[in-house]
A and B are shown apart, each in its own frame.
Chain A
Amino acid sequence: MRIGVPRALSFYRFHPTWAAFFDRLGIELVLSPPTNRVMLEAGLRYAVTETCLPMKLFYGHVRALVGRVDQLLVPSIRRLAPGSSNCARLIGLPDLLRATMPDLPPLIAPDIDLSQEARALMSLLLEAGAPFSRNPLTLRDAVLAAWDAYRATRQAMMEGRLTPAGFDRPPGDLPPVPADGLPVAVVGHPYNLYDPFINHHLLARLARLGVNALTPERLGPQPADDYWAFEYELVGAARLALERGVKGLIAVVAFGCGPDAILLDEVQRLSRESGVPLLTLVLDEHSGEAGLLTRLEAFVDMLHWRGAR
């Protein structure tokens, strides 16, 4: 039994949790390769034109797995806290996929709704694992392993030992961030920050420019009372970073992202009120590398110049 995991969207949030869970059940997870141009082209054939780039890449990653795996893991993320909401595309992800691709393998599509806290997570995992093991003790074991992995990952990311880019790599294999460099908050959803293809190697470029990029998972615990499930990754993280005295803000959003279209307004407000400069990078399949590099260099130069003044 081989279960395919698209290296996109929720991979960058939950992969260690799923990996620990299925590992205990003795099931092999197959990851799609890192994003490349061919995968994007494959995704574009299935996605509706108006959707966002991360969705189009997600389709590409699914195409890279179809035919190679027995099942596909495609969770639907409904809400992470009571009264909150999530992007329609992330909620409807399994439905979207079934509607657009007739040749899919069966989907493992648990509905993630954490508004009832840890208990909901447990029952969710039990449900997801039920088809793979009849032994309740094995299942319980797998659930606990998943829970441990989830907390360990959070902790390691908080301490800067791990980023979502390192989810499928041995520890210590991460490109170093210049810790004493110019502190700049880089906020955005992890699939926009940690896929070098989507953002033209943004984080590596920043490191080369001597920037200590403070990404959301390094900044602090995620508050649970936001309206959007992943609001923290943009607004909350920017707020925490400003408290820490960052010299600049970089917001990375995908063109056509529903929640971010509104959340960006909040980040702009934070920048205005604090006087800390903001660079907004909007990603789509047409954005070129040269334009990005020029803007990055100009922004970092400007921050240095402000610092020297």
Chain B
Amino acid sequence: MDMWEIPFLICFPLVVSVLMFCIRINKIRNAVAYVSAVIIMLMTGVLTVHWGMNGFAPAEFYVETELVDHFILGAEILLMLVVTFLSFKYNRPWVSLLSIVPTAVIAWLELEGPELDAISHIKVDHLSILMCIIIGIIGSLIVIYAVGYMHGYQHYHTEIPDRRYYFFMILFIFLGAMFGFVLSDSLLWIDLFWETTSVCSFLLIGYTQQEEAIHNSFRALWMNLLGGCALCVGIVYFALDQGTASLSVLVEQGTGQAPASVQVAIALIAFAALTKAAQLPFSKWLLGAMVAPTPSSALLHSATMVKAGIYVLFRLAPAMSGNMTGTMISFIGGFTFLSASIMAIAQSDGKKVLAMSTISNLGLMVACAGVGRPETIWAGCFLMIFHAVSKSLLFQDIGATENSLHSRDVEEMHGLLYRLPVLALFMFIGICGMFLAPFGMLISKWAALKASVDENNIILVFFICFGSATTSFYWTKWLGKLIAHTNRPPVRDITKKNEMISLSIHAVLMLALCILFPFLSSVYVEPLLMEMFSESNQVISNNVLYILIILICFFFAVPFLAYIYEKNVKTNKKLSYMNGINTGKNDAFMGSMGAEKELVLANLYFKDICGQRKLMNPSIAITTAVIIIMMCMIIASALGGGMI
């Protein structure tokens, strides 16, 4: 059996990226970008179907890859050169060390190191196909959206040089690297794709080349490269000790009584995944990434980059169940879930709220992976799917809103439903998807809570109970802003058609996922768990899931029916009560001195209690301490033969 779609999916975006760079006529480049995005989406579908026709069985490919291996090594060195050049150019030479050292070590292993076992370099199974679908669909939609968005962006931000050819080049490299990342089983290949995504995100964040952007992009770079270093050390140590560089072998050996090198490698790789998934203490890079144009934030946050970290942790999950690495990962994840959701309360910049909520939700997924039981991975998979769709929708929507409204502050969105109805509606759907009952995120949270009780993970239970309360708080107050009545005039909606297409597809996907949820669980996620753990304990029984479907229908129906019923009820409209005399339009009142005062309503933010300034540094300190202590303990107990 051969699957030609796999090399196609990895190489095609790279070819397109070269085209993007070469074509300097906007219209032609846009057309090529559209067509390529659609092709990628279709090929993802073809890959899934092809794999399904072969019986949904795990498949391995490409054992003999000497030529490609050389190519991969060459690419790695090229990346190192790019990083070194840029870090010297922008006067941060020390960052280059984080790239030179691991590349040198990997190069040594490949050229001078011992002969490694022959392994298949590509492996296809349920998890990697799931990731491919997410990347293929969401990633391509983001590209389609980006074409329109960047047009408006460059039009509006004239101070930023128009380098769209460069922007799209990186977007496509990114997609190619992500496909490679989730499909590879060879750790050496994974390392290359890992570094590629790190460098791409760095270049995307620095797109505007302004002082802040450069600063933030370097922060993202060094944090991700630090993770890359840990990954590389883990890989090399494992390869030298066990004579193989296969991820599946690593996980297999990690379950049960694992040799020291395997334990250490797993801990290091899991640590690397924490940096990628922007967990505390490495959350700041994701917050800084907000300076980039919106499509890149959407790409970094929702569909790809950060999910790469989660993907690795899911892969490692069976090997983390019940040991110290798992404890560390689940603690960091749970802690990040709670503290990021508290910090999100104090944010009024829409994009920052989204960033905080991304970090927070990733934290929950990381915690699920750290517990490493089928039940938690079940919850984690659904969290990942729902989060990818609704976060991508929200990011794109807030980008479009900003282009029209010239602000992305939540306070400015007072009454957005009456001013920019379509965008506000999409935003409403996206936010509801993040936390309300009929949507999947809440059900997954519920499953995560149940599973962590089953696993006796006390601290995670606390994190989830408190974290879900704070999460509802910041989303609900945002929703309230959108629907609050206002007399301010409507804003002209300058959203391009292609942006609308992408947004609508997302919204439809969001709603469809709600209904298809139990189906997806039994058809796809349970086989995934069977593959991973050779057992699958459903957290929420099918019975309950069917009740849920009925509930979902009811939930959509109730407000709708209530609306229809109330439409014809005769009502007597009165002015709102304002203490002073309402001047007649509900937007101003007479003050005690007889002057008319405009009414301004603002949300609660508690900036002095839970602002980023107040909480970020202590959280970083706590998590750093935990990571250092736990890593030392893991390494010491692995090498000392379980003395500690």
Are A and B interaction partners?
no
B: residues with CB less than 8 A from A are: none
